[in-house]
Amino acid sequence: MTAWTFFKGEWHEGNPMIMGPMTHAPWLGSCVFDGARAFEGVAPDLDLHCERIIRSAENFGLKPTYAAGAIQELVQDGIAKFPAGASLYIRPMYWAEEGFVDVDPATTQFSVSVYDSPIPSLPSFSVCLSTFRRPGFETSPTDAKAACHYPNSARAMREAKARGFDNAVMLDPMGHVAELAIANIFYALNGEVHTPVPNGSFLNGITRQRVMALLRKAGITVYERTIHWNEVMAADEVFFTGNYAKVVPITRTEEREFQPGPIAAKARELYWDFAHAGKKA
């Protein structure tokens, strides 16, 4: 993997050692990040990802040290270190260097990493229902894209893979469908699309919002509402969105198998058209 990280005014190649054993972030989890993509010469919604890392930091009690526009300029500098059209993952991060349990915002640190990461080709993708749930705002900082959420997602994925599935569908604290362990879920029935309404238990993804807007503009009805697992199991097709793989059809839920459906295909087509119609990376 080729990787470049901007930290304290300089670009560093590889995996620079930017945290120590006394750093608050690896000790007590005070790290927020965002994930964007550059591929085929474009970086869709990069501005929104750079804005979200600022909100995540502020919601976590950290003090952002770069404006969103400055982060976007740094990202463009990082992209330029790779061949034109490279498939890249873009990860700005804020974290606390010091603090006693809570963070000391005055010690907030920043980095942005850009590295090789091909968009995966997933001709088949299976999910099962997890026994682990997403937390609510009262039990976890769900208003930030925070690293501390991901060990719970890892438990769900580990459980799913042990059962022979690629990923897991997680419920919210009330027992309603929230999302996959690391992506947002949609299903289609009778030509209409349904997705869980954001309720403070899962990330309202930027790719999720973009795909919903594109589908609606194309004349497809999209409902955001409370969803039960049995509805997903009875759907005509199921798919997910996320920054890592963008738009992917789900071909098996538990023991029920699906063929990739036309709405998921349309969503992916619309997203790629949108990405390439935007500003070049």
List b or e across 110-125, with b for residues whose CB sees 16 or more CB atoms inside 10 angstroms. Answer: bbbbbbebebeeeeeb
Q: Dig out the tokens for 137 from the structure.
A: 């705002």
- Distance from C-alpha of 134 to C-alpha of 149, rounded to nearest angstrom: 9
Distance in angstroms (rounded) separating the CA atoms of residues 262 and 16:
44
Whole-number Å distance between alpha carbons of 208 and 228: 19
pTM score: 0.94
What domains can you pick out in the chain, each with its CATH number? 3-116 (3.30.470.10), 126-277 (3.20.10.10)
For the chain, percent of residues with pLDDT exceeding 70: 99
Confidence class of residue 280 from pLDDT cuts 50, 70 and 90?
low
Structural tokens at position 26: 């690896």
- Token readout for 86 is 């490279």
CA distance 115 to 89: 6
At 117-136, the pLDDT tens digits run 999 988 899 999 999 999 99
Could you give the C-alpha distances from 48 to 26, 41, 54, 55, 158, in angstroms and in order? 27, 18, 10, 11, 31
Distance CA 167, CA 9 (A): 38
Per residue in 74-115, pLDDT (tens digit) is 999 999 999 999 999 999 999 999 999 999 999 999 999 999
